Amino acid sequence: MVTTTKMHTNSNLGLYLVTDEASCLGRDFYWVVEEAVKGGVTMVQLREKSLSTRAFIDRAKRLKDLLETYNVPLIINDRIDVALAVDADGVHIGQSDMPFQAAHRLLGEGKIIGLSAEKQSDVLEAEHWNLSYLAVSPLFATPTKTDTEQPWELEGLQWAEMNSRHPLVVIGGLHTGNAREALQHGASGIAVVSAICSAPSPREAAQQLKTIITTPEPFKTLNN
């Protein structure tokens, strides 16, 4: 097991829901998010790839109102303009999105900025920037997003944990069966789409993941 001094340094990172309406299986989008929050989600990213700017902003405003009642931060994926328009809590940017420095300049101080790292050079470059978190992306292969680089896998995560000063979020193929080992290999936060959005009960799915994140693994003794 790898112990890390960065564990849970940002309390919002614990269980991070990344939304995808298609993964909600026809159920009401806001109902799915609210159930997830009631189950223990600590941060929500609005990820919209095909909405018009107007519809994206409308959805972000409504989601912000909902999340504010639970004191859960709203992160906007890709679109700094949308984040500014609704005064969201932060943004998530990837390697093809607006560069960190420009996003930081536009957003000003006090906003959450997360960045995807797809390869080792991304992790090293990110050492120069004041990120809120670095996403190891994707940790495992996932049908939810297929336009990705090679998955990091657990060994890659361990390398990122040893070479980054940032708290690490993992995303891609995470569920109750592998979340604990991701935490053991250096993740501070678990980000999921389908494990919550497509679950029969998004609230129960979130509760189960949250239990894994907040329950320390019992110490192993030599006899078991």
Ligand X SMILES: Cc1ncsc1CCOP(=O)(O)O
Ligand Y SMILES: Cc1ncc(COP(=O)(O)OP(=O)(O)O)c(N)n1
Annotated binding site: 45-49, 77-78, 97, 116, 142-145, 173, 193-194
Among candidate residues 116, 137, 164, 188, the one labeled active-site is 116
Binding status of residue 78 toward Mg ion by CB under 5 A = yes
Distances (CA, A) of 94 to 59, 76, 77, 168: 21, 12, 9, 14
Dist CA 107 CA 20 (whole Å): 24
CB crowding 134-159: b at 16 or more within 10 Å, else e: bbbbbbbebebbeeeeebbebebbbb
Q: Is 64 a catalytic residue?
A: no
C-alpha to C-alpha distances, 89 to 26, 43, 146, 160, 215, nearest whole angstrom: 28, 10, 27, 26, 27
Judged by CB, which is closer to ligand Y: 47, or 111? 47
User: Does residue number 153 form part of the binding site for Mg ion (CB under 5 A)?
Assistant: no
To ligand X, the closest distance from the beta carbon of 171 in angstroms equals: 5
Min. distance of Cβ 74 from Mg ion in angstroms?
16
Catalytic residue chosen out of the listed positions 47, 111, 203, 210: 47
Least distance between ligand X and beta carbon 108 (Å): 26
Contacts with ligand Y, residue ranges (CB under 6 A): 16, 18, 45, 47, 77-78, 92, 94, 97, 114, 116, 135, 137, 145, 169, 171, 191
Annotated catalytic residue 121: no
Q: Residue ranges for the binding site for Mg(2+)?
A: 78, 97
Clarify whether 47 is annotated catalytic.
yes
Report the distance separating Cα 43 and Cα 213, nearest Å.
14
Catalytic entry in 61, 62, 145, 180 = 145
Residue 157 binding partner per list Mg ion, ligand X, ligand Y, none, with a CB distance cut-off of 5 to 8 Å that depends on partner kind: none
CA–CA dist 84, 180 (Å, integer): 35
Rounded-to-integer distance, Cα 100 and Cα 77, Å: 13
Binding region for ligand X (CB under 6 A): 18, 137-138, 142, 144-145, 171-174, 192-195
Backbone angles phi, psi at 121, to 5 degrees: -65, -30
Positions marked catalytic: 47, 116, 145
